[in-house]
A and B are shown apart, each in its own frame.
Chain A
Amino acid sequence: MYTFEQLLNKNEEIWKAAQEFEAKSCEVPVETVRKCALNSLHAMKEAVKTGLNSTVMSMSGMCGDDCDRLQKYYSKNPSIFGHVFEKILEYSLATSEENIRMGKIAACPTAGSCGIVPSVLLALAEEFKKSEEEQINALLTAGEVGRIISGKVALAGAVAGCQAECGTASAMAAAAAVQLLGGNPKQIVNAVGLSLKNLLGLTCDPVCGLVEIPCVKRNPFMAIHAMCACEMALAGVETKIPVDEIVDAMEQTGQLMSPALKESSLGGLARTKTALELKKKLFNL
């Protein structure tokens, strides 16, 4: 298994198909699969909680205190987009900052993109009082989306750029959100497509080769991107290009992308004047 088309042809809830497939291929009961998902969910909640209360900087000193800045701002100036928007930005920053200060996170799909799925999932679950079982269903849905994409594209910036890491995370988050808000499998798959095709070509050009600039602050952007896809899909907006073809396009785009823009730090943001100065300072070159 398989493609998004085959997934839709099963005519069942995506989380259900996912847990059955996983149980079968690992030769474990479905309950074990759900238990593993719950472990990831707990790790996500813990990372958010810890991250919201920390201002410890990363080893490079470049990142670590922006979530605090955002929380202070919102306490006096509520977001014009409402409370959920605030939470999504805060939770995603909290998680990715926790990551770069060597805190404990759940890679989703990677460590650099670890704030995107949890922020959307947890903010919506809190706001709409979703049960733990519903949250697990949403996470399994996200997992199934990531798994299918990873069957075609390596989810590594060095292979296919950031579209494969934060892009996939955003598609996974969009799927989790639609699932959580009661959408059907077709809407979930449309949300995946809408999200992915609007991130094709996203480069991986980390400053100093570290998972910090632009990675940390990219997480909240990608989380909000997921919400755009979620709401459009819930409204019945469809992607005209089928999702499986979009994934093929992502793979091809990754191949066409210059190696300078794939985690080598030889191009893009990593080669700006300021980035080179930071590198000099950091590594005493």
Chain B
Amino acid sequence: MKQTSIFDVISPIMIGPSSSHTAGAVRLGLLARNIYNRPFQKIVFRLYNSYALTGKGHGTEKGLLAGVMGFGVDDRRIKDVFEHVENIDYAFEYEENFKKHPNSVDFIFDDMKIYGESIGAGEVLIRKIDDFEVELTGKYNTLVLVYDDVAGMISKVTTIIQQKNINIATLHCDRYSKGGKASMVISIDGELDARTVSDVKALDKVYFVTYVKKLDE
């Protein structure tokens, strides 16, 4: 039986009207912001299926934009978020695509594409960063890296984390092809300091490292 909490049923405190289409959209935006983790001037949101069809009535566009701007799910500015945007060029696209989840979205930055799904009751899942399959829920601090698929990489990275005496909650790997580019997603209990993250970055054959902070409860 899954672990449940009282606070799953008497919260979150949020801007309405829909936990999946509004609060979920904000949380997806916040996660995309944490993954991208640097300033940006331009973003395109591609909304799929129910997000595309009923998004307007549920404030889904507002929620997504508010999220990438760093607003929390209970921020009253969400309602008028378009008036709060400064120096971000944004656009929305809509697509029906039944291979995608009913409530899903692409965050398209200039040099990165992030795909996420709102899976119900405000819970979200980031499923893809560029073409790599990942699984990010925002419930754990998570280290994401892209590297060359060579022997010993998992051991090198986990050793660095282990040296800080930090427990790994989950570990997920994916690769394009044998010997090609690969991705690793490590969610942890506790926090990684900047030094540990840069130690991972300094490893040979590692191209991209981002430390994604968990979302506030």
With both chains docked as a complex, state the minimum distance between the C-beta of A259 and any C-beta of chain B, in angstroms: 11
A-B contact count (CB 8 A): 144
Give complex CA distance A168, B78 in Å. 28
A-B contact pairs, 28 of them (CB 8 A): A18-B6, A39-B11, A40-B13, A43-B11, A58-B17, A59-B56, A100-B17, A102-B15, A102-B17, A102-B22, A102-B62, A104-B14, A104-B16, A104-B76, A105-B13, A105-B15, A107-B23, A108-B9, A109-B121, A111-B16, A114-B16, A142-B10, A143-B7, A152-B1, A208-B54, A208-B57, A210-B54, A211-B58
B99 within 8 A of A: no
Neighbouring B residues of A143 by C-beta, 8 Å: 6-7, 9-10
Q: Which of A18, A43, A109 meets B13, CB within 8 Å?
A: A43
Neighbouring A residues of B157 by C-beta, 8 Å: none
A108–B10 CB distance below 8 A? yes
Neighbouring A residues of B14 by C-beta, 8 Å: 104-107, 111
B18 within 8 A of A: yes
With both chains docked as a complex, state the minimum distance between the C-beta of A80 and any C-beta of chain B, in angstroms: 32
Q: B78-104 toward A: CB 8 Å interface, digit per residue (1/0)? A: 110000000000000000000000100
Neighbouring A residues of B76 by C-beta, 8 Å: 104
Neighbouring A residues of B163 by C-beta, 8 Å: none
B5 within 8 A of A: yes
* A positions within 8 Å CB-CB of B: 18, 22, 25-26, 33, 36-37, 39-40, 43, 58-60, 98-112, 114, 117, 139-140, 142-144, 146-148, 150-152, 154-156, 158-159, 168, 172, 208-212, 282-283
Given known contacts A40-B11, A105-B13, A110-B19, A151 and B6 CB-to-CB distance under 8 angstroms: no
Give complex CA distance A98, B17 in Å. 8
A102–B120 CB distance below 8 A? no
With both chains docked as a complex, state the minimum distance between the C-beta of A192 and any C-beta of chain B, in angstroms: 13
Give complex CA distance A117, B6 in Å. 14
- 10 cross-chain pairs, A with B, having the tightest CB-CB distances, nearest first: A146-B9, A99-B16, A143-B6, A209-B54, A109-B9, A43-B13, A156-B120, A102-B79, A210-B57, A100-B17
With both chains docked as a complex, state the minimum distance between the C-beta of A2 and any C-beta of chain B, in angstroms: 9
Neighbouring B residues of A152 by C-beta, 8 Å: 1
Given known contacts A111-B22, A209-B50, A100 and B16 CB-to-CB distance under 8 angstroms: yes
Within 8 A of A (CB), among B1-40: 1-20, 22-23
B74 within 8 A of A: yes
B8–A36 CB distance below 8 A? no
B10–A210 CB distance below 8 A? no
B59 within 8 A of A: yes
Give complex CA distance A210, B58 in Å. 7
Neighbouring B residues of A140 by C-beta, 8 Å: 6
Neighbouring B residues of A101 by C-beta, 8 Å: 16-17
Smallest CB gap from A141: residue in B:
B6
Listed residue (B13, B16, B17, B54) with the most chain A CB atoms within 10 angstroms of its CB: B17
Within 8 A of A (CB), among B123-164: none
Give complex CA distance A26, B6 in Å. 11
A209–B22 CB distance below 8 A? no
Q: B37-72 toward A: CB 8 Å interface, digit per residue (1/0)? A: 000000000000010011011110010000000000
Neighbouring B residues of A112 by C-beta, 8 Å: 17-19
Neighbouring B residues of A117 by C-beta, 8 Å: 10
A139–B15 CB distance below 8 A? no
B116 within 8 A of A: no
Listed residue (B6, B12, B78) with the most chain A CB atoms within 10 angstroms of its CB: B6
Give complex CA distance A59, B17 in Å. 10
Neighbouring A residues of B1 by C-beta, 8 Å: 151-152
Neighbouring A residues of B8 by C-beta, 8 Å: 109, 146-147, 150
B17–A99 CB distance below 8 A? yes
Give complex CA distance A108, B57 in Å. 21
A102–B16 CB distance below 8 A? yes
Neighbouring B residues of A110 by C-beta, 8 Å: 19, 121
Q: Which of B3, B74, B102 meets A25, CB within 8 Å?
A: B3
B11–A36 CB distance below 8 A? yes
Neighbouring B residues of A142 by C-beta, 8 Å: 9-10
Neighbouring B residues of A114 by C-beta, 8 Å: 16
Q: Which of B4, B53, B121 meets A147, CB within 8 Å?
A: B4
A211–B17 CB distance below 8 A? yes
With both chains docked as a complex, state the minimum distance between the C-beta of A99 and any C-beta of chain B, in angstroms: 3
Neighbouring A residues of B120 by C-beta, 8 Å: 154, 156, 158-159
Neighbouring A residues of B20 by C-beta, 8 Å: 156
